[in-house]
Structure 1
Amino acid sequence: MCRWMVYSGDPALAEALLFRPAHSLINQSLRARLGEETTNGDGFGMGWFGERRIPAVYKSINPAWSDPNLLEISREIRTPLLFAHVRASTGAAVQRSNCHPFRHGRWLWMHNGSIADFTRLKRDVMLAVDPSLYAEIEGTTDSEALFYLSLTFGLMEDPPGAVARAIGFVEDLGRRYGVPDPLQMTVATTQGESIWVFRYSTLGRTRSLFCSTDIAQLRRLYPELDVLQELGTEARFVVSEPIHHLEGAWKEVPESSYAIVRPGVSELHPLVPLTVHQETTA
């Protein structure tokens, strides 16, 4: 499907984050090891926070490994928070508006996975989006629809609750339309201060997702690696698959869970689908 990466920490060059690791996201765009597809060449995008309050976004329909503009601008971007995504389409057109991350105000969102039989469920999903948000939807993907559904359910006030409601809504639709396994997702979202990452699928066999471990501990284990010395002690990565192959460097995010990532801190919590019916009868 797709591969994505989140970085949070001291300001770092995007080039160092995207291109230099041994199994970088750019490398994964051509040779992914843990994804459903080896090649993720249906476009790419990155979002980052800089001088402005609103994050910047750069997207292209070109494969990440062959776009010279990506390399050029990544050498000039230094950021404390980077979202990056390489896309393998599950059916939606290869066009810029379908590339991740998606943006609403200060919020960024990117997704790996799918809403099964989305063409059957799409009308109901779209009708559930708040009318004040609907006009902002630019593309045709289930990923962007899931973002705006989560915004409708309160993403900006309560990200875990909003995503749990979006999951419950899609799974309820699946039951109504006879789609047995309607949702597959790893998601990252942020407003520039905290990052929330989610791993969930109806079947319980979700695409891979990993968080980095403590950088200070890795420095003690691998003192010979200069790249670890360049990162601050608060640096954290969340990735679809590891970008470095160092023993002890990564912890897999468990099934049906979400993590909150802040500088130097990560918290893990269970993720349980929530429906409006459950809320009103609780």
Structure 2
Amino acid sequence: MCRWLAYRGEPLQPSLLILDAQHSLVAQSLNSPLGAETVNGDGFGLGWYPADAEAGGIPAVFRSIEPAWYDQNLREISRAVRSPLFFGHVRAAGGPPIQQSNCHPFRYENWLFMHNGFLSEFDRVKRDLTFAIDPSLYPHVRGTTDSEVLFHLALTFGLREDPVPAMERAVRLVESVGREHGVTYPMQGTMAVSDGQTLWAFRYSSQGKSRSLFHSVDIPTLREMYPDIERFRIFDDNAHVVVSEPLNDLPGSFVEVPESTVHILDAGGYHHRPFLAAA
């Protein structure tokens, strides 16, 4: 459906990952070997927390319906800003129209959210799921995607207080409503969410065959593995990235996130825990 990446570490130009990596996000928008669709040209988005902003500040968002490989503004912006935490997303529209409000990432207050996947047969469950969104949040749903509905369901269930149980409740509702409407496998995808300090990345599907998700190996380890690669000296020791698919072909540089897992990245590094593993 889509491809995405999320970075956390010392302030960095997003272009280093979005444009300049061997298999950058823009490269994946043209050729995505592990994606459900090879080409992801139905718009893109970049969301970032400014390097000079206070902790928990409001992120900036730039979204466009242009193909990522074509948009000059993406190149200008991603090279001009520096951010300690940013999201990048390229879209392959699976039904909802190609419009700016349907491009990821989505923002609410200091939170960013993006999704690769779908809520199966969304037209059959859309009404029930949309009506489950808290009335105070409903006016903030600007587009027509299942992903934005999922985000606002998680907000409804307490994302701002505790993201993991909030996402669990949102996904359980999607599955419950879907099965009431005869949908066999209601949920599919990988999701990323952040408050500007911590990154939560979820990999889950009702079928147990989720979209691909990986995280990078620690930079000090990569330098030991590949001492001759100068590029790794650009990155601080605390630089980490979570991606739909690896940004290079170097063996051992990326690790697959297991099925039914939430991958948590904070100041202490990576942490994993089960996510609806018994659902």
Same fold (TM over 0.5): yes
Per-residue CA deviation, residues 74-123 of structure 1 (Å, 9 max, x unaligned), is: 11011111100000011000000000000000000000000011011000
Paired residue secondary structure (1:135): helix
**Counterpart position of 1:241:** 245
Per-residue CA deviation, residues 6-58 of structure 1 (Å, 9 max, x unaligned), is: 01111111211211110000000000010010000000001000134200000
Q: Which amino acid aligns with 1:102?
A: F
- Normalised by the length of structure 1, the TM-score is 0.96
**Counterpart position of 2:18:** 18
Residues paired across the two proteins, number = 275
| Contact 1:7 1:81 (8 Å CA) reproduced | yes
Which 5+ residue runs of structure 2 have no aligned equivalent? none
Q: Does 1:132 pair with 2:136?
A: yes
TM-fit CA distance, 1:263: 3.4
**Counterpart position of 1:230:** 234
Bigger proportion of residues as helix? 1
Which 5+ residue runs of structure 1 have no aligned equivalent? 276-282
Partners of 1:266 and 1:133 in 2: CA distance: 31
Which aligned runs of 4 or more in structure 1 are off by greater than 6 angstroms? none
**Counterpart position of 1:37:** 37
- Normalised by the length of structure 2, the TM-score is 0.97
1:1-282 aligned at under 5 Å gives the runs 1-50=1-50, 51-52=52-53, 53-263=57-267, 265-272=269-276
| Contact 1:235 1:264 (8 Å CA) reproduced | no
Paired residue secondary structure (1:185): strand
Q: Which amino acid aligns with 2:188?
A: Q
TM-fit CA distance, 1:264: 5.0
Q: Which amino acid aligns with 2:9?
A: G
Identity, % of aligned positions: 51
Q: Which amino acid aligns with 2:67?
A: P
Paired residue secondary structure (1:132): coil
Q: Which amino acid aligns with 1:152?
A: T
Partners of 1:167 and 1:59 in 2: CA distance: 26
Distance 1:232 1:191, change over 3 A: same
